Structure formats: C-alpha cells, structure tokens
Amino acid sequence: MSEASLEPSGQRERWNRRYADRGARAFPRAPAQRLIENRSLLLGTVGRHALDVACGDGRNAAYLAQLGFEVDAVDISDVIIDKLQAAAIDLGLRVNPLRLDLELDPLPAAHYDVILQFSYLQRSLFEPLAHALAPRGILIFETVMRAHAEDLGNDFDPRFLLDSQELLASFPDLTVLRYHEGVTGRSGRPRAVASLVAQRPAATVHRS
C-alpha cells in the first residue's frame, strides 16, 4: 500500500483494482534503503518473528525472510495477497501473507520482534503497533511528510501526510534509536519522508 484511507468501505475493492491495473508482481524489487541501512540492528534482535504492515508487493518482507525471519506480511488486497502466497511457496520464503483490514482487525500483543511500516499512514495504528512489539522488539517506520506535497509539489491527500516531528512523538513507550526527516528517492522520484527506528524496552509500562 502506498496510502491509507480512514473510510473502510470499498478499500479492499479499490486496492484490488489498483494492483490488478498495475499488473503487480510479488517480490519484484529491492527492499527499502532504510531497511538495508538497519541490517545489523535487525540481525541483532533476540527473536525472529516479524510483521510487515501494508506490505504491498512484499519487497521488504522478502528481505526479512532472507535475513532469517518468519514474516507475517499483511495487506487489505486479495489480489496482492494471493500473488504473495503463490510466490512465497515457489521461492521457499518464510513469508506468511495475510489479508487484514488494519482499521478493523487487531494485532496480537507483545508478539513481534520486528515490525515494518513503509509508505502507509494510519494514525490509529500507532498504539497497537507499539503494543504488538515483543520486549526489545524493533519498529522501523517510514512514510511521507507534508513537505512531499508543499515543497516538492506532489499531489497527495493531506490527511495522510506527517507533520514535521509528528512521527518522533507518536511512540512514547518506545526508545528512539534513529530518526530522520528529509528527501529521499523512490523509483527515480524525490520523496520527503520521516523515518523512525525505535525499540520497545525490556519491560514496558504502557501509559493509560
């Protein structure tokens, strides 16, 4: 997924059409650069159970699987999940594609050693993501900011753009390891993004 909507009805059909129209393929590309940059951190995690949120074509899930993780790759689209399921079997990847509506379906608590979320924004998911991390689990999160539209002139729904420093303040129960705001590239086009790498402490007291 490259964007989110807080209006659940019709989202599955919309994404199914989009993936079908694009002729989407499973695991077609290299992983996100931010993921590669954190390879040593990922390899140092205690457990090997990972979640890729709004996984799209699965490029990041495949990278984690190649590092030895068992990956739950979730997306709302039947079309892309069916493609990922078939390709994961063919390639022998430890990727478990799951069709979920993240606005409705809960995440398990304290379950994942690594959680990825790239190019997707659903603010109501911030707290569930933090709770879904196992102790010492790592969250890697990157998506576009308001500067993507306001400074770079891209057409983008403003509801799904981060304010400056917003992501940094969105996970108060996690320890921030790395944070960056700036312009990066994707498919040859500049994107203004915020990226966060954060860790759940060994023992966490959640705020009420």
Interval 43-54: pLDDT, tens:
999 899 999 999
Give the range with max mean pLDDT: 3-7, 11-15, 176-180, 183-187: 176-180
2, pLDDT greater than 50: no
pLDDT tens, position by position, 77-130: 999 999 999 999 999 999 999 999 988 999 999 999 999 999 999 999 999 999
30-199 topology per CATH: Rossmann fold (3.40.50)
* Contact call for residues 117 and 53 (beta carbons, < 8 A): yes
29, pLDDT greater than 90: no
Residue 158 DSSP label: G
Delimit the domains of the chain by residue range: 30-199
In angstroms, the CA 69 to CA 67 distance is 6
More confident residue, 118 or 146: 118
166, pLDDT greater than 50: yes
In angstroms, the CA 28 to CA 193 distance is 23
Average pLDDT, the chain: 88
